[in-house]
Amino acid sequence: MSETQEEKRNYLNELRLKSTYLGGEERVKKQHDLGKYTARERIQKLLDPDTFIEFDKFVSHKCHQFEMEKKKFLGDGVVTGLGEINGQKVALYSQDFTCWGGALGAAHAQKICKIMDYALRNRVPIIGISDSGGARIQEGVESLGGYAEIFYRNVKCSGVIPQISLIMGPCAGGAVYSPAITDFVFMVEGSSYMFVTGPEVIKTVTHEEVTKEDLGGAKTHSEVSGISSVTCKNEDDCFERVRELLGFIPPHNFYKAEKKWTSDSVSRENSKLKSMIPDNPKKPYDMRDIITEIIDDGNFLEIQKDYAKNIIIGFSSIGGIKLGIVANQPAHLAGVLDIDSSVKAARFVRFCDAFDIPILTLVDVPGFLPGTQQEFGGIIKHGSKLLYAFSEATTPLITIITRKAYGGAYDVMASKHIRADVNLAYPSGEIAVMGAEGAVNIVFRKDLVGLEGKELEEKRAELVRSYEKEFANPYKAAELGYLDNIILPEETRGIVYKYLCSLKNKKHYFPKRKHGNIQL
């Protein structure tokens, strides 16, 4: 006798209910005791209410080794589907640590690949929530193959749709390479961990003793490795930061950007900027103060805030026009460019360019950091990455020199010579091969020979003043057409907005090629 419609309905509802149990009440309680949400709770808190559509709710593994056929969970340890964030459609997956510690098997990987393919076909951002101990050992090479399938899709999606990774627990072994390829990595203090090999393996192989936190915690990856884009206090804070990020970036490449709502007038008074840059060129100041003053509502989402602090990157808007900001930070290492800051800024520039987000560059740079550590570490190679990124960028580029722009660093920081669209400077701008004192010691070396004591100091001071008068200003560069205009600081917001409006239909093409060969 066949089942009735009512019986079929009851069976479906039974399966639906079973799939929500995750790994069982005990494991869910343990997850909560660790201050962590479950996979489904995370989706519910991240997405707009009642927008989630789940895929593959009833999928389970096909493994029969190690008595795995007796251990099955509906969904196979990962929840996948579609939803909306601030009305913007997104695709996402959320690994479930209550099922085998979130370990990835063949069916688990197939679910992730399926939702990534859907995201790419439909041009919506993909968000991955990682909480997994790594590959499911019982499934062997199928687990490894599953990871590779995900990595391949990460590369395929790169530059087409935004990819965002939320590390909500452990992310170890081969699993780390998927977040590494994605555009933004969010980590949570005290509960996020990323490492290729854990503390126990390291102790066995290299005899080093290190804790999980020191090896791959949020603090380590935000300050030392730079892997973390944004470090959050807790999971709720993380969801808010992700929602904020999606308010600044488009859902896919070739998307016609919409203005961000603001009540902040583009013509408002910026009188605070008049006194922000010190008269003494050696005195530091915080570039964030200038950024905050010129953007809409002081709303700046900084990326990699605690890594390579001598350069600032992040998203904001001016007059509702969304943009990326790259700025030297005179308050840290005098804003000098080094290996870490060059790589940090270069990847950000390439992301903005891939999604046609205009870039505002604020320049106060005394040059590249000297020393054997930098030279042996490859500052030549790594510094060229930022040069390459700006030179390759076809998105609107506006550059403002606020104070120093010395040596090769002047060229690299989106100068007119590498085809920035608009190059401006404040009257305090200094564009030269090097600072006055260093230049005098080289150029006027013969004039100082034979002088000693007070006479030497007076002559050197005179030559320094003469050099500063000639070069410690932006007018020579303006005379040569290397600057489009010299503006007063308080005019910045209104002028940048006008230029952004004029560049909205910019089109620029490079010679036909498969791709360039950036120094990696």
Among candidate residues 145, 174, 190, 377, the one labeled active-site is 174
Residues 6+ apart with CB under 8 A from 500: 318, 319, 321, 323, 358, 396, 398
Q: Which residue is listed with tokens 């891939």?
A: 354
> Which amino acid, residue 23?
G
159 is an active site residue: no
Phi then psi dihedrals of residue 468, to 5 deg: -65, -40
Considering the candidates 75, 173, 324, 383, report the single residue annotated as catalytic.
173
* Cα torsion 130, 52, 352, 488: sign: negative
Please tell me which residue in 140, 247, 408, 438 is annotated as part of the active site: 408
Place of tokens 């927008």: 51
Q: What is the Cα 151 distance to its own chain's centre?
A: 19
The residue type found at 349 is V
User: Residue 499 in 3-state DSSP?
Assistant: helix
197 SS3 class:
coil
Q: Is 174 a catalytic residue?
A: yes
Mention every residue, 6+ apart, whose C-beta is less than 8 A from residue 315: 245, 248, 249, 300, 301, 303, 322, 323, 324, 325, 357
CA distances from 123 to 56, 251, 255 (A): 20, 7, 10
User: Which listed residue (346, 409, 425, 439) is catalytic?
Assistant: 409
The residue ranges of DSSP E strands in 10-57, in sequence order, are: 53-55
Distance of CA 43 to the CA centre of its chain: 22
Task: Give me 61's structure tokens.
Answer: 């593994």
State the angle between helix axes of 287-294 and 492-502 in degrees (0 to 180), rounded to the nearest 10.
Answer: 60
Which residues face 321 on adjacent strands? 318
Task: Report, as residue numbers or ranges, the catalytic residues.
Answer: 173-174, 408-409
